[in-house]
Chain A
């Protein structure tokens, strides 16, 4: 630990006024950052990690209030400083970057102008050199053609590009402290790596201190000198990154650490010690269940204005349609679990939606148990006997449950519609069996979604998907919206269910670690095409295609124990 502390937080307590009374979001938090030090603040949702940083910057929203403790920034007491002094510090001495970079920028102001606003506010530039300095700031965050980008609006830039602009904005005045609040959440894994590398390079170069707030213990350990773990508003552990994986002292850290997917482990290693039963033996893959041949999905490029233009000027050429899926062929065998991996926009969701028969392909065949289900219009497939045999677990467990139906009703829906079971008692018994199968206490069946936790909702979604004994279940990023400890439980549940019920999985994901844990084979997609496929271990350990190598290299590598 560095001897000179730049930021020193002692006993910080933050309260929020809610309808249920005052809630302490942060309790007696101690945190210090030395000059040039990078620390990570790690915790699951609701741990108070973001609130702590807002309190330091004094930008808590109206309901929040610092109830106790002290915050000093190079000797200055931030909690008693005047608002004018704070304003002077923000952006010049300490600045912040946020999750969801596109929303963090003013949508109707050019990005160059937004950087100028900060420069001029802190008298780092006048009217004559503001533009030049703003372009310089864009250059420093390695934005190509910065003069052009200066005039761009956020909606014209990609998410990664927006995050670079936000970083340029934050670093424009050469602050001494940077607080990065989930700076890469929601970005693709390769973009995530580029952004993290950029932050680390720029802050090291300038000898800045950094606080990285993240839910990803692996990311924090890979990029930070020291890691602070928070749980329910309190700091439970503070340790050097080099030792935290090897020797976590607090039980919660151990649980979090174990639940973080990493190379060289099995699914069971994600669970807390002592809770793991042996993994079910691997099922030998049978004959082909699903085989997709030359799948293509095209979308016409057109807007309302094109129609009018065509109406009045005959010479408007038909633009080539956009190919979201471009000649895809793959197979899923019985009892097999196949991962479909790629970054946003690669066509993996389109592919799974077509296989699911919610969307019609432009060309190609989808053979399911020998029958070409691609030829059946998506609209008619709802009443097709094979409908019951292909089911899906959705990405967002909250969004996928009807807010007006109880958990039991949600699980009963496929049974009543397609299962052919009649009679309240029979259906109820079946629901209870399914609930038990997915580890959902049966007394929760009468609850509405908003009365269930995230993990419980995920279990309801899984129970609904397996209610009809499907042959193929498509898992669309089923754990992306869950905290890492809940993800660990859900992934294990999925593996157990597959072994028990003999289903096949098509697992759509962006996370190679998770795919490696759950899948036998993996298919890597880029711009609508398959770049590589093979056994999960081969593809991830010895990737052959350059793109796969890039993906694998982009995963943060925490120091291993």
Chain B
């Protein structure tokens, strides 16, 4: 078991190498004057030359790559021109906001999508099945930024149930002290229920936006794999042995059906980390996504590259976790070594 985990961790190495290589290529090799990008739009020719020397862009490519990797190993992702801070510091301070929002959206959609998919599969052709089909088809067709805007218009402008879409917490509420960086958890830790309420009401709309977005793929795969598990031969054996419907559906069908769902989570995370950028822009959420977008608008290149690399590394780690979770559920994977 431990060996399997070790082996799986080793297999992420090629992926990480690929990620670092691509992010290096994006910085150095593509057409256009990289130094000019890094120096910013208003830089003088001298400034550009300075940046070029400082970044070592006058050196041969392999040497540049070696320096890039060494810098990375030291956590050096460059300097942001807009904030004047090291990119790594900017990213780490903003990451909890993004992580809290993404996880909130994901959990929300899992809680809705899995039961929906299961019921739709068990009662094929029922009203729930039709609802599921509508959710799945509509969900994949909705641009996530558009969903966000509609929610803002309905719940903020018309109904006024929701606070203005500006950040993580009401400007008048006190920000909870940093424990985990997740406001919902930190405010509960210190018992500040006012802050908790405020943070929750700010998070609800962007969270729901992300949830609507990720609902579709999860519900779709749950329904499909549940249908195939329900028509599998082992389910027929369970039925022919007189097991109760609950046992047949949960212990026999659902546990097997969850395997493809876990696999799909990788794809869902890929979509979510991208959608997060758009949602953060719509709701002025102070996370890494809006940080990257602001840098893009200011033609500040280092933060964008840092953001892409950070997201890729997080995604590789998430995929690793998903695979390990899969091994826990499926004995065939667990024991294959």
* Contacting pair B240 A105 (CB below 8 A): no
* Contacting pair B242 A153 (CB below 8 A): no
**A95 interface residue per 8 A CB criterion:** yes
- Taking CB atoms, residues of chain A closer than 8 Å to B237 are 96, 98, 104-106, 166, 169
**B255 interface residue per 8 A CB criterion:** yes
Binding site for A on B (CB under 8 A): 3-4, 7, 10-11, 124, 231-234, 236-244, 247, 251-252, 255-256, 259, 329-332, 335-337
Q: Which of A59, A166, A304, A309 contacts B239 (CB 8 A)?
A: A59
Q: Which of B10, B124, B231 contacts A308 (CB 8 A)?
A: B10
Nearest chain A CB to B193's CB is how many angstroms away?
A: 43
- Taking CB atoms, residues of chain A closer than 8 Å to B232 are 103
Residue picked from B233, B237, B336, most chain A C-beta under 10 Å:
B237
**A550 interface residue per 8 A CB criterion:** no
Interface size on A, residues (CB 8 A): 39
Cβ contacts A142-156/B at 8 Å (1 or 0 each): 000000000001011
Q: Which of B11, B256, B332 contacts A304 (CB 8 A)?
A: B11
Closest to A170 in B: B241
**A61 interface residue per 8 A CB criterion:** yes
* Contacting pair A98 B236 (CB below 8 A): yes
* Contacting pair B233 A98 (CB below 8 A): yes
* Contacting pair B242 A305 (CB below 8 A): no
**A19 interface residue per 8 A CB criterion:** no
Cβ contacts A166-181/B at 8 Å (1 or 0 each): 1001100000000000
Q: Which of A100, A121, A170, A311 contacts B233 (CB 8 A)?
A: A100
**A555 interface residue per 8 A CB criterion:** no
Nearest chain B CB to A5's CB is how many angstroms away?
A: 22
Closest to A83 in B: B245
Nearest chain A CB to B304's CB is how many angstroms away?
A: 34
Contact of A90 with B242 at beta-carbon distance under 8 Å, contacts A59-B236, A104-B236 already known: yes
| Majority DSSP secondary structure for residues of B touching A | helix
* Contacting pair A57 B234 (CB below 8 A): no
Complex Cα spacing A86 to B239, Å: 10
Complex interface residues of chain A between 116 and 137 (CB less than 8 A to chain B): 117-118, 121-122
Closest to A57 in B: B240
Nearest chain A CB to B282's CB is how many angstroms away?
A: 41
Complex Cα spacing A89 to B243, Å: 10
* Contacting pair A121 B242 (CB below 8 A): yes
* Contacting pair A153 B332 (CB below 8 A): yes
- Taking CB atoms, residues of chain A closer than 8 Å to B247 are 117, 121
In order of increasing CB-CB distance, the 7 nearest A-B pairs are: A90-B242, A91-B242, A91-B241, A305-B7, A103-B233, A96-B240, A106-B234
Q: Which of B3, B231, B243, B335 contacts A118 (CB 8 A)?
A: B243
- Taking CB atoms, residues of chain B closer than 8 Å to A117 are 238, 241, 243, 247, 251
Closest to B231 in A: A61
* Contacting pair A108 B329 (CB below 8 A): yes
Closest to A305 in B: B7
- Taking CB atoms, residues of chain A closer than 8 Å to B233 are 98, 100, 103-104
Contacts A/B (CB < 8 Å), 19 sampled: A59-B239, A62-B124, A88-B242, A90-B241, A95-B240, A96-B237, A98-B237, A100-B233, A104-B236, A105-B237, A106-B256, A108-B331, A109-B251, A121-B242, A153-B331, A166-B237, A308-B7, A309-B3, A309-B7
